[in-house]
Amino acid sequence: MECFKTNHPHRGDTVTDMPAETVSVTGWGRTAPSTARLIRPRTYEEAVTAVRGCGARGGIPRGLGRAYGDAAQNAGGAVLDMTGLDRIHVVDVADGSVLCDAGVSLHRLMEVLLPLGWFVPVTPGTRYVTVGGAIGADIHGKNHHVSGSFSRHVVSLELLTADGTVRTVRPGTDLFDATAGGMGLTGVILTATVRLRSVETSLMSVDTERATDLDDLMARLTAGDHRYRYSVAWIDLLARRAATGRAVLTRGDHAPLAALPARARRAPLSFRPARLPAAPACFPEGLLTRRTVGLFNELWYRRAPRARTGELQRLSAFFHPLDGVPHWNRVYGRGGFVQYQFVVGHGREETLRRIVDRIARRRCPSFLAVLKRFGEADPGWLSFPVPGWTLALDVPAGLPGLGAFLDGLDEEVAAAGGRVYLAKDSRLRPDLLAAMYPRLDDFRALRAELDPRGVFVSDLARRLAL
Ligand SMILES: Cc1cc2nc3c(=O)[nH]c(=O)nc-3n(C[C@H](O)[C@H](O)[C@H](O)COP(=O)(O)OP(=O)(O)OC[C@H]3O[C@@H](n4cnc5c(N)ncnc54)[C@H](O)[C@@H]3O)c2cc1C
């Protein structure tokens, strides 16, 4: 978690004797740190006590801090670290569902569930997110075009609301739709029951191909995505002219048992990815320049096969390659980085082309850009995905003129009826929010009724007047 201690731990000035300390908190992008009282409830009762004792600056639940921006921060108030509540209560191996605490990570779920032949319904590009964070941001994965976002697979959840009561919340209700993607602002999710996907093996069968430019890429994704459960494209945003938007597509599905070689069939469901070491890694400042990133992108593109089918890959390599690089977010140096992710609907390809072209011409040193086609949206009022094209890129926060440049992109996105992803955001202008999220007023009205004293608040919420 990106938390840095700024003074000695103290115990129990407003909330019993549960662990609490004043720390500097950031998101994964390490921009915009703010200081808050970090409280770590270990029981549901402690969570209730923590919410009741949040104080005038309120509180916000936090999972593993993988939101890139300021969603799980609360300057001058309380941040409720929910990772102390991380039990897996019931795995229904017959029907394929799990009831667990919201503080349990998807990594832990995979460790427990894969040997039983079950997999999480949606995983983002890292396993180190909690179930609470997955619902709070209504995360999407490479299977969005088939499976929708995480909340689609939630059967019910228990929500600790501002008045200190715990409510059972089910899909099809306003409270569910406000909570799925509600960025922790309707309350603290304590537990969730989530439907799972059955798998025969822990390997993936992967097809790889190269696209020569953005139009070629979009054509390939449009023509072929329906054949794959998982699909994503890594896109070279430094390539210019005829190569603008060239990309490597990787698409696949869980490998069936029959696809495994005899040796691998002995333990087809084993899951043993490397664990993150505790010590922080050091990266030299200024490692990421246009030149180094340009070289990296060139190599990445060239070494990818023009076309390869049926490659067996470990699940962790396919879904979470960055989890193997501890503290990779420090590679951007002290200033941190901004992850910018937006979506524009089908029919708005011209906006996507223009934005990719602007980024390529701006020469942003971005080596982690991905393009994906989203499927049907889910009902969460602030849920990000809508059917269309989503592009995500990382940019060093210190890049001169970055703020104005991204503001310009925001305006294009909003004008095209698109939106930026709040879980990645640390800089969006509030005046663009309503155009991007048409259910914003419903969200605000529900919060005003549910939480009239404004107990739940975050830096993101203050910045965007959520
Ligand atoms: C390498 C990397 C790859 C990623 N790839 C993707 C991707 O492919 N798709 C995608 O959608 N996202 C992706 N993300 C973003 C990440 O999935 C989300 O930000 C997710 O919310 C992080 O979960 P967390 O447990 O770390 O939550 P935090 O970052 O701690 O919090 C995120 C939000 O959830 C709320 N929250 C946390 N716990 C609770 C709770 N118990 N109750 C209520 N609200 C809660 C917080 O208040 C906050 O608003 C990626 C992030 C990284 C670092």
pLDDT in the model for residue 11? 35
Verify whether ligand 1 is closer than 6 Å to residue 322 (CB atom).
yes
The amino acid sitting at 160 is L
| Res 279 pLDDT > 70 | no
Ligand 1: nearest atom to the Cα of 184: 44
Report the nearest-CA residue for atom 49 of ligand 1. Answer: 183
Query: Quick one: which H or E segment has residue 193?
Result: strand 188-195
| Res 9 pLDDT > 50 | no
User: Ligand 1: which of 31, 40, 66 to mutate, most ligand atoms within 8 Å of CB?
Assistant: 66
Q: How far apart are CA 31 and CA 338, in angstroms?
A: 8
Q: What number is the average pLDDT over the span 134-152?
A: 98
Q: How far apart are CA 192 and CA 182, in angstroms?
A: 15
Residue 324 Cα, ligand 1 centroid: separation in angstroms? Answer: 18
User: Ligand 1: which of 40, 129, 318 to mutate, most ligand atoms within 8 Å of CB?
Assistant: 129
pLDDT in the model for residue 273? 86
Q: Which two tokens stand for residue 25?
A: 């908190």
Environment class of 345 (CB within 10 Å of its CB; exposed 0-12, middle 13-18, buried 19+): middle
Verify whether ligand 1 is closer than 6 Å to residue 102 (CB atom).
yes
pLDDT in the model for residue 288? 75
Verify whether ligand 1 is closer than 6 Å to residue 245 (CB atom).
no
Verify whether ligand 1 is closer than 6 Å to residue 169 (CB atom).
no
| Res 8 pLDDT > 50 | no
Q: At what angle do helices 402-415 and 349-362 cross, to 10 degrees?
A: 170
The amino acid sitting at 151 is S
pLDDT in the model for residue 281? 58
Q: Label the pairing between strands 78-81 and 34-39.
A: parallel
Verify whether ligand 1 is closer than 6 Å to residue 114 (CB atom).
no
Confidence bin at 240 (pLDDT 50/70/90): confident
Confidence bin at 365 (pLDDT 50/70/90): confident
| Res 250 pLDDT > 50 | yes
| Res 409 pLDDT > 90 | yes
Q: What number is the average pLDDT over the span 326-345?
A: 90
pLDDT in the model for residue 2? 43
First to last CA, the chain: 25
Environment class of 115 (CB within 10 Å of its CB; exposed 0-12, middle 13-18, buried 19+): middle
The answer to whether 422 and 343 have CB atoms below 8 angstroms apart is: no
Report the nearest-CA residue for atom 6 of ligand 1. Answer: 124
Q: What number is the average pLDDT over the span 246-258?
A: 97
DSSP-assigned letters across all residues of 241-253: GGGTT-EEEEEEE
Q: What number is the average pLDDT over the span 241-270?
A: 96
Instruction: Please state, rounded to an integer, the average pLDDT across all residues of the chain.
Output: 93
Q: What number is the average pLDDT over the span 111-131?
A: 98
Q: What number is the average pLDDT over the span 211-227?
A: 98
Report the nearest-CA residue for atom 3 of ligand 1. Answer: 125
Instruction: Give Cα 353 distance to the centre of its chain.
Output: 24
The length of the chain is 466
| Res 263 pLDDT > 80 | yes
User: How distant, in Å, are the alpha carbons of 31, 55, 68, 70, 334 from that of 281?
Assistant: 18, 36, 19, 23, 13
- Portion of the chain with pLDDT greater than 70, in percent: 94
Confidence bin at 16 (pLDDT 50/70/90): low
Higher pLDDT, 383 or 289: 383
| Res 12 pLDDT > 70 | no
Q: What number is the average pLDDT over the span 187-195?
A: 98
The Cβ-side half-sphere exposure at 456, using a 13 Å CA radius, reads 31
Residue 67 Cα, ligand 1 centroid: separation in angstroms? Answer: 4
Q: What number is the average pLDDT over the span 384-392?
A: 98
39-56 burial, b at 16+ Cβ within 10 Å, e below that, comes to bbbeebebbbbbbebbee
Q: pLDDT digit string (tens) for 289-317?
A: 788 888 888 888 888 899 999 999 999 99
pLDDT in the model for residue 184? 98
| Res 6 pLDDT > 80 | no
Q: How far apart are CA 364 and CA 387, in angstroms?
A: 27
Instruction: Give Cα 24 distance to the centre of its chain.
Output: 21
Q: How far apart are CA 21 and CA 385, in angstroms?
A: 36
| Res 154 pLDDT > 80 | yes
Q: pLDDT digit string (tens) for 32-81?
A: 999 999 999 999 999 999 999 999 999 999 999 999 999 999 999 999 99
pLDDT in the model for residue 5? 37
